[in-house]
Structure 1
Amino acid sequence: MSRPTVAVEIAVQDAAGARVARDGGADRVELCGALAGTGGLTPSLGTVEQVVAVGLPVHVLVRPRAGGFQYDADELDLMAADVRHAVRAGVAGVVVGVLDERSEVDRDAVARLSDAADGREVTFHRALDVVPDRLVALRALADLGVWRVLTSGGAARTFDGIDALAEMVREGTGVEIMAGGGLRAEDVGLARAVGIDAVHLSASVERDDRGPAGPGGGAATYLGTELQLVRGVVRAARD
């Protein structure tokens, strides 16, 4: 009996990356800024508009700063505004994650951001991997109407968290489970075997810039989405 296929989401930083994801057969992109240095931040509105124009469904990360996932009132105001701007720009969904002082799901904040999303899909990101009890958090997110979660099962790599991922699938909350975190094409078969709904990766390689970065400009390299890496994961997700 054939294994169920899984959706493929590629994390990108720009329209060029979104075009590579599209041409490689990915189902959607997560758009974020500063991916390599921070794990991802809210991209500019101009970037959102450019990536939406590529044609793949776009799920935009809304994260105002690096660091943890507990936010003050100003930061939550900004996040809600960024969600509304992204919705107006035509995104298919938003990606958020807010924890309270106990490192549990901040229900009020997630409800506020979900309301701002105005019916678009809401993904709760890998803030889930630092909560005290992922199953309790998963049930809370289901109650809040969150569409999916992105998680490695609390491990450094998806492959190492497969048992925890399988447990979340078995919980049967109705929330999609998307595996991500150091994921490689060879991990996809195992994810499919335990019933994961989707896989997520950046499929990126380091590239040299066209000129020197200069003082204060950082390294003269950047991450770019690699077509063959996208195609490899897509084949593993569907064959």
Structure 2
Amino acid sequence: MPALEFAVQDVAGALGARRVGADRVELCAALGVTGGLTPSAGTIGAVVATRIPVHALIRCRAGGFRYLDADEIAVMNADARAAVSAGAAGLVVGALTADRRVDSAVLRRVLAGIAVSDIEITFHRAIDQVGDRAAALDTLVELGVTRVLTSGGAVRCADGVNELAGMVDHAAGRIQIMAGGGVTLDDLPALRRAGVDAVHLSARRLVADDGGPGGGGTCGHDQFDLEVASAVATRWRAVSAVR
């Protein structure tokens, strides 16, 4: 069944996503400036309490997805365990080797001690740096991963539609292909025609808010845009109904 996921950073975002009928949220922190990091334990608990399924991002730092530091991996494992204990319905993870393949060993260490069969696992857009995404999908299926979030290797999903269609064909129902990366309202019909049955976007706008010299200057903060989210939800339901 077609699914809609929003990336949110707070309770307000989760409530907005639930209001427009989203199926779940990916919960993260510092989305705009880093692409997303692990949210705080307090945030996870508060968003879980909104009663929309919460998939917590497990990413300890910005930058690339190669993790060689045992302490980094241990922190992500602790964060993953804490998120599940707090009621997260899923985890969003990713790790790559030096030659940009899925790092199965690191993923197993990050997920150690977690009953993976009881939750959903999403492999995030680290896959867009992988050269052989078909092989990566096979590896992720073997690891029991539920879905992969991808733009088809492009900056925006609109430019990766052909690759997304190929990934859907290769997945053959074994793993869900969820389109994410610059998704707009006008992209939805093409994504659906490509066979994609899940989309992910942030639907956020920047609110000007001067933090001063010690608070990040004038960069402001993100806010969930209910109007945009509602329009996307309505259009996604419409294009999904006619396919």
Question: TM-score, normalising length from structure 1?
Answer: 0.94
Residues 125-140 of structure 1 aligned to structure 2 (within 5 Å): 125-140=124-139
**Residues in 1 aligned to 2:3 and 2:111: alpha-carbon distance in whole angstroms:** 22
3-state SS in 1 of match to 2:39: coil
**Residues in 2 aligned to 1:174 and 1:112: alpha-carbon distance in whole angstroms:** 23
Q: CA deviation at 1:195?
A: 1.2
**Residues in 1 aligned to 2:123 and 2:195: alpha-carbon distance in whole angstroms:** 19
5+ long unaligned stretches in structure 1: none
Q: How many residues align?
A: 233
1:48 maps to what in 2?
44
1:215 maps to what in 2?
213
**Residues in 2 aligned to 1:128 and 1:117: alpha-carbon distance in whole angstroms:** 23
Q: Deviations over 1:127-182 (max 9, x none)?
A: 00001211111110011110000000000100100000000100115110000000
**Residues in 1 aligned to 2:224 and 2:113: alpha-carbon distance in whole angstroms:** 30
Instruction: Report the residue type matching 2:86 in the other structure.
Output: A
Contact 2:122 2:148 in 1 (8 A): yes
3-state SS in 1 of match to 2:160: helix
3-state SS in 2 of match to 1:108: helix
**Residues in 2 aligned to 1:116 and 1:184: alpha-carbon distance in whole angstroms:** 38
2:83 maps to what in 1?
86
Contact 2:74 2:110 in 1 (8 A): no
Consecutive aligned runs of 4 or more in structure 1 exceeding 2 Å deviation: 111-117
Residues 104-183 of structure 1 aligned to structure 2 (within 5 Å): 104-118=101-115, 119-171=118-170, 172=172, 174-183=174-183
1:34 maps to what in 2?
30
3-state SS in 2 of match to 1:186: helix
Q: CA deviation at 1:189?
A: 1.1
Residue 5 of structure 2 is aligned with which of 9, 12, 31? 9
Tell me, yes or no, if structure 1 residue 73 matches structure 2 residue 103.
no
Tell me, yes or no, if structure 1 residue 63 matches structure 2 residue 54.
no
**Residues in 2 aligned to 1:190 and 1:117: alpha-carbon distance in whole angstroms:** 37
Question: TM-score, normalising length from structure 2?
Answer: 0.93
Q: CA deviation at 1:193?
A: 1.1
3-state SS in 2 of match to 1:206: strand
3-state SS in 2 of match to 1:132: coil
Instruction: Report the residue type matching 1:40 in the other structure.
Output: G
**Residues in 1 aligned to 2:103 and 2:34: alpha-carbon distance in whole angstroms:** 22
RMSD: 1.2
**Residues in 1 aligned to 2:212 and 2:3: alpha-carbon distance in whole angstroms:** 40
More moved, 35-44 vs 220-229: 220-229
Q: Deviations over 1:101-145 (max 9, x none)?
A: 221101112233344442310000000000121111111001111
3-state SS in 1 of match to 2:205: strand
Instruction: Report the residue type matching 2:216 in the other structure.
Output: G
**Residues in 2 aligned to 1:236 and 1:117: alpha-carbon distance in whole angstroms:** 36
More moved, 166-175 vs 79-88: 166-175
* Distance change >3 Å, CA 35–CA 186, structure 1 → 2: same
* Distance change >3 Å, CA 234–CA 116, structure 1 → 2: farther
Instruction: Report the residue type matching 2:22 in the other structure.
Output: A
Contact 1:24 1:228 in 2 (8 A): no
Aligned residues: percent identity?
A: 52
Instruction: Report the residue type matching 1:43 in the other structure.
Output: P
